Homo-oligomer: A and B are copies of this chain.
Amino acid sequence: MSVIKELREYFTEIMRLNYIQALLGWDQEVNMMGYKSVKGRSEQRALITQLIHKRVTSEKTGKLIIEAGKLKDLNDIDAAMLREAKREYDLETKLPEELVIEITKTTALAQQAWQKARQEKDFKLFVPLLEKQVELQKEKAKKLETHPDLYSTLIDLYEPGVTYDWIAKVFNPIKPKLIDIVKKLNSSSDKPDDSILKKPYDIDKQFKLSFEIIKKFNFDLGYGRQDRSTHPFTTSLAPLDVRITTRTREDYLNECIFGTIHECGHALYEMGIKEELHETILCTGTSMGIHESQSRTLENYIGRSKEFWTYWYPSFQKYFPEILKNYPMEEFYRAINIVQPSFIRVNADEVTYGLHIILRFELEKDIIDGKVQVNELPEIWNSRFEELLGIVPPDDAEGVLQDIHWSHGYFGYFPTYFLGTLYGAQIYNNALKKNPSLPEEYKKGEFSNIMNYLKEKIHQHGAIYRANDLIKRVTGEDLNPDYFFKYVEEKFYPIYGL
Contact surface of A with B, Cβ cutoff 8 Å: 13, 16-17, 19-20, 23-24, 27, 31-32, 34-37, 39-41, 43-44, 47-48, 51, 220-223, 225, 237-241, 278-279
10 pairs across A/B with beta carbons < 8 Å? A19-B44, A20-B44, A23-B24, A23-B27, A23-B44, A35-B223, A36-B222, A37-B240, A40-B240, A44-B238
Contact of A223 among B13, B36, B238, B240 (CB under 8 A): B36
What residues of B have a CB within 8 angstroms of the CB of A40 in the complex? 19, 237-241, 278-279
Q: How far is the CA of A20 from the CA of B51 in the complex (A)?
A: 13
Contact A20 B34 (CB under 8 A): no
Q: How far is the CA of A297 from the CA of B278 in the complex (A)?
A: 48
Name the residue of chain B whose CB is nearest to the CB of A238.
B40
A215 to chain B, nearest CB (A): 13
Contact of A238 among B31, B41, B240 (CB under 8 A): B41
What residues of B have a CB within 8 angstroms of the CB of A240 in the complex? 36-37, 39-40
Contact B20 A48 (CB under 8 A): yes
What residues of B have a CB within 8 angstroms of the CB of A39 in the complex? 238, 240
Contact of A24 among B20, B32, B41 (CB under 8 A): B20
Q: How far is the CA of A270 from the CA of B175 in the complex (A)?
A: 59
Contact A20 B20 (CB under 8 A): yes
Contact A34 B222 (CB under 8 A): yes
Name the residue of chain B whose CB is nearest to the CB of A236.
B40
Contact of A44 among B16, B31, B51, B220 (CB under 8 A): B16
For the complex with contacts A16-B43, A40-B278, A40-B279, 12 further pairs of A-B residues with Cβ separation under 8 Å are: A13-B47, A19-B44, A20-B24, A32-B241, A35-B223, A36-B220, A36-B223, A36-B240, A37-B223, A41-B237, A41-B238, A41-B241
